[in-house]
Amino acid sequence: MTSAPVQDQLVENLLEAMTWEEKLGQLQIAFRPRLQDAADLVRGGIGAIFWPRSAAATNELQRIAREETAHGIPLLVGLDVIHGQRTTFPVPLAQAASFDPAVSETDARVTAQEAASGGVNWTFSPMIDVSRDPRWGRVVEGFGEDTYVNSVFGAAKVRGYQGDSLGDPDSILACAKHFVAYGQAEGGRDYNTVDVSGQRLRNVYLDPFRAAVDAGVATVMAAFNTVSGRPAHANHHLLTSILKDEFGFEGVVVGDADGVVNLLDHGIAEDLDDALRQSFAAGLDIEMGGNVTTSDGGTRLGPGDVPSARVDDAVRRVLRLKLALGLFADPYRSPGDEVVVPSSESRRAALTTAEKGLVLLKNHSVLPLGTARQRVLLVGPYANSTDHLGAWVQSFAEPAGSLAEAIREECPEWDVTVREGTGFFGGDLDLIGQAVADAADFDAIVVAVGEPSALTGEASSRSDLRLPGAQEQLIRAVAATGRPSAVVMFNGRPLVTSDWIDAVPALLEAWHSGLEGPRAVARALSGAVNPGGRLPMTFPRSSSQVPIYYDHENTGRPAKVSGSLAGGVVDVGLMGPGNTDDHYTSKYKDLDLGPQFPFGHGLSYTTFGYAEVDVSPTTITLAELQAGRTVKVAVTVTNTGDLTGDEVTMLFIRDLVASLAQPVRRLRAFTRNSLGAGETKTSSFELGWKDLGFSDNNGRYLVEPGAFEIHVGGGLEGTARCGLDVLA
Ligand code: NOJ
């Protein structure tokens, strides 16, 4: 690899030699449906394309770029490789449920190797949009409702995709998206308006992007939405002042698909030329769609439209990435080495990830069923469905099998009878009745339900968060038999379970867990695997309770359940069931307080106990914090049950009195430990300057002196509380 100064010189030499049209050609990516004649586009000087589906096809386009264009500039080849190329890992939301960022780093590594082998050198992932509204279909693509979880998992993905060096043959460019606040779309309706306060923008939505930049992310994608009236694609304050100037981002800002064209419908641009002019002036570096140049070799922007220094800056950013990837030295892939079938190691990694993301939401001594001989009735549309890969799956990915098949392989002693009872949609109560008519003949019943993956992802918002079709009726019919039964739910967002949850003995959240998802579930049902995942998003009681999230502000009139929590600390995340007669408080009159299942909830087949939390020191000054001194928090957890299991320990803070109202809890650290029966482990955390403060409405980060609470435990429930005083 050539040294940085030599690379810089190469970039400057190229810039010197390129015409205005050649420069603008580098600032766009054409996507596949419009790739009528990719070869012509490349001959015409386009700098980036969507993946043409094989190493051989990519090599030919790279050859044209290298040999038939004036300066031989190789191509960026992009693709949405979100949770797998050939080996599909669990959807990102399920990965977040593992509370183990190492699984996402592994996913990204495997994904990068598979994608790079076919010529992809740029993925549009990770999505790190904090998502607090499960109606939004895209919650499946990100890491849930918490800012810190999105930061940690996003950075892990970036490390995995980009590897130790972009110059390594199996490294690809990552893309942190969508910049910014896309998760706040009003009403959870995709592409809808975002109106976000300055402090929420900074404290909730921007932080994961700062973490991605710190992790060295090579590209960032602008969001479709407006922020304070200005679409992100044309938002100089966001793209340049914050991302590039303040965060020091030196990579490429890419637009979203037709995001520049969409400025016309936003009503801020008169025509496409105007939209392009505004976007590049705001700080966009690559337009997604291929609209910058015209078919006759001209461009939509003249030298007077955008300052030439801005265009040079964008081209410089693009060329630097191409050099860093080593494409000038060798843009070709060996077609014989292209990974088209998952290796056994990749499958194993996908299985581990799927197992770690399983969340046991409820269990009244039904699970695990054990491996011994027994008659099991498997009902529900997910018994035979192979729709496990989830949103953003590649059409050429290795297909998954069904839960029924996986159970037969993993639990060979079971005598399994499979009846769907109902499909995903529609449904016939007579058929449901027939499916469970001989329930008494079975030792256990497993109900496999969920939402098909087509109901999740982009442009797939839902107004009703209940299971579609007659699946709830099926669940109730099984519960009414009184036989031991467990519901397994396959879905890509929090769902509403309130109409049936009290009737069922057990509920396992399985998500859309990818190629090995069904096997992971079969192993959890038998007990070969002990579920240890936790919810990365709150499960509401009702669709009209959203948005609902654990790190809400207290409000001036919080609803209180009598005797719920001492010391004026009210945490709606922990409340319910029950309501209150306290009239003038923040609540719904017709709904129990609090969520159905809070953020961080998840059970195990074993039990865990926490000893005292040790905080040291318990007093610290602002000056000490600023100088880098930290507060150490240590807690000891013991597996108090009979089985090996994983425990996620979380640390939350609460700033009790501040100049801006603060969330009732903020997650600042977590760790996942595997403990054998009776085993004890100590987890240690450090809290410093960056953990205790917040950004004010002027974008200034500050830690304010005063009393803090530190809550440590296995989630929001049952945490130990300690004090910390920050002195002026
Ligand atoms: C639109 C989506 O918003 C974005 O996430 C994706 O990367 C692009 N389409 C390209 O497929």
Ligand 1 centroid – CA 188 distance (Å): 17
For residues 460-465, average pLDDT: 98
Burial bucket for residue 666 (CB in 10 Å: 0-12, 13-18, 19+): buried
For residues 495-503, average pLDDT: 98
Q: Is the CB of 177 under 6 A from ligand 1?
A: yes
For residues 147-156, average pLDDT: 98
Instruction: Note whether 555 and 664 are within 8 A (CB).
Output: no
d(CA 482, CA 467): 22
For residues 712-724, average pLDDT: 90
- What proportion of the chain, given as a percentage, has pLDDT over 90? 93
Q: Is the CB of 124 under 6 A from ligand 1?
A: yes
Identify the residue whose C-alpha is closest to ligand 1 atom 11.
Answer: 80
| Residue 568: pLDDT band with limits 50, 70, 90 | very low
Instruction: Supply the pLDDT for residue 718.
Output: 76
d(CA 140, CA 584): 36
Backbone angles phi, psi at 476, to 5 degrees: -65, -35
Mean pLDDT of the chain: 95
What is the residue type of 19? T
Burial bucket for residue 187 (CB in 10 Å: 0-12, 13-18, 19+): middle
For residues 260-274, average pLDDT: 98
Instruction: Supply the pLDDT for residue 483.
Output: 98
Identify the residue whose C-alpha is closest to ligand 1 atom 7.
Answer: 124
Alpha helices in 527-596 (DSSP H): none
Q: Is residue 354 pLDDT above 70, yes or no?
A: yes
Judged by average pLDDT, the poorest of 39-48, 95-104, 136-145 is 39-48
Instruction: Supply the pLDDT for residue 577.
Output: 66
Domains 344-526 and 608-727 fall in the same CATH topology: no
d(CA 576, CA 560): 10
Ligand 1 centroid – CA 255 distance (Å): 9
SS3 104: helix
Active-site residue, 214 included: no
Q: pTM for the complete prediction?
A: 0.97
Q: Which of 177, 180, 219, 256 to mutate to test the pocket of ligand 1 (most atoms within 8 A of CB)?
A: 256
For residues 592-620, average pLDDT: 96
Q: 419-452 pLDDT, tens per residue?
A: 999 999 999 999 999 999 999 999 999 999 999 9
Instruction: Supply the pLDDT for residue 579.
Output: 78
Which residue would you say has higher pLDDT here, 563 or 678? 678
Q: Is the CB of 257 under 6 A from ligand 1?
A: yes
Ligand 1 centroid – CA 28 distance (Å): 14
Query: In terms of CATH, what superfamily is 608-727?
Result: Immunoglobulins (2.60.40.10)
For residues 253-279, average pLDDT: 98
Identify the residue whose C-alpha is closest to ligand 1 atom 8.
Answer: 257
Identify the residue whose C-alpha is closest to ligand 1 atom 4.
Answer: 256
Q: Is residue 5 pLDDT above 90, yes or no?
A: no
Token pair in block for residue 500: 């049936």
Q: Is the CB of 22 under 6 A from ligand 1?
A: no
Backbone angles phi, psi at 24, to 5 degrees: -65, -30
Edge-to-edge strand ranges of the sheet holding 175-179? 175-179, 219-222, 252-254
Ligand 1 centroid – CA 257 distance (Å): 6
Instruction: Supply the pLDDT for residue 273.
Output: 97
Instruction: Supply the pLDDT for residue 296.
Output: 85
Instruction: Supply the pLDDT for residue 565.
Output: 41
Instruction: Supply the pLDDT for residue 564.
Output: 43
Instruction: Supply the pLDDT for residue 31.
Output: 82
Instruction: Supply the pLDDT for residue 36.
Output: 59
d(CA 276, CA 254): 13
Q: 17-37 pLDDT, tens per residue?
A: 999 999 999 999 998 655 558
d(CA 230, CA 194): 10
* Catalytic site residue from 256, 285, 592, 691: 256
Ligand 1 centroid – CA 138 distance (Å): 11
Instruction: Supply the pLDDT for residue 571.
Output: 55
**Nearby residues of 565 by Cβ (< 8 Å), 6 or more positions away:** 571, 574
Topology (CATH level 3) of domain 344-526? Rossmann fold (3.40.50)
Ligand 1 centroid – CA 313 distance (Å): 24
Omega into 178 within 30° of 0, i.e. cis?
yes
Instruction: Note whether 140 and 93 are within 8 A (CB).
Output: yes
For residues 118-134, average pLDDT: 98
Burial bucket for residue 516 (CB in 10 Å: 0-12, 13-18, 19+): buried
- In the 3-class helix/strand/coil scheme, how is 339-376 assigned residue by residue? CCCCCHHHHHHHHHHHHHHCEEEEECCCCCCCCCCEEE
Q: Is the CB of 458 under 6 A from ligand 1?
A: yes
For residues 596-608, average pLDDT: 97
Judged by average pLDDT, the poorest of 86-90, 118-122, 175-179, 590-594 is 590-594
Instruction: Supply the pLDDT for residue 34.
Output: 58
Q: Is residue 294 pLDDT above 80, yes or no?
A: yes
Work out which ligand 1 atom sits closest to the CA atom of 177. 5
Q: Is the CB of 80 under 6 A from ligand 1?
A: yes
Which residue would you say has higher pLDDT here, 2 or 462? 462
For residues 595-624, average pLDDT: 96
Domain boundaries, the chain: 344-526, 551-588, 608-727
Instruction: Supply the pLDDT for residue 297.
Output: 83
Q: Which of 124, 127, 182, 286 to mutate to test the pocket of ligand 1 (most atoms within 8 A of CB)?
A: 124
Q: Which of 219, 221, 253 to mutate to test the pocket of ligand 1 (most atoms within 8 A of CB)?
A: 221
Q: Is residue 97 pLDDT above 60, yes or no?
A: yes
Q: Is residue 561 pLDDT above 90, yes or no?
A: no
Work out which ligand 1 atom sits closest to the CA atom of 224. 3
Ligand 1 centroid – CA 674 distance (Å): 37
| Residue 576: pLDDT band with limits 50, 70, 90 | low
Question: How many angstroms separate the first and last alpha carbons of the chain?
Answer: 50
Q: Is residue 567 pLDDT above 50, yes or no?
A: no
Instruction: Supply the pLDDT for residue 573.
Output: 52
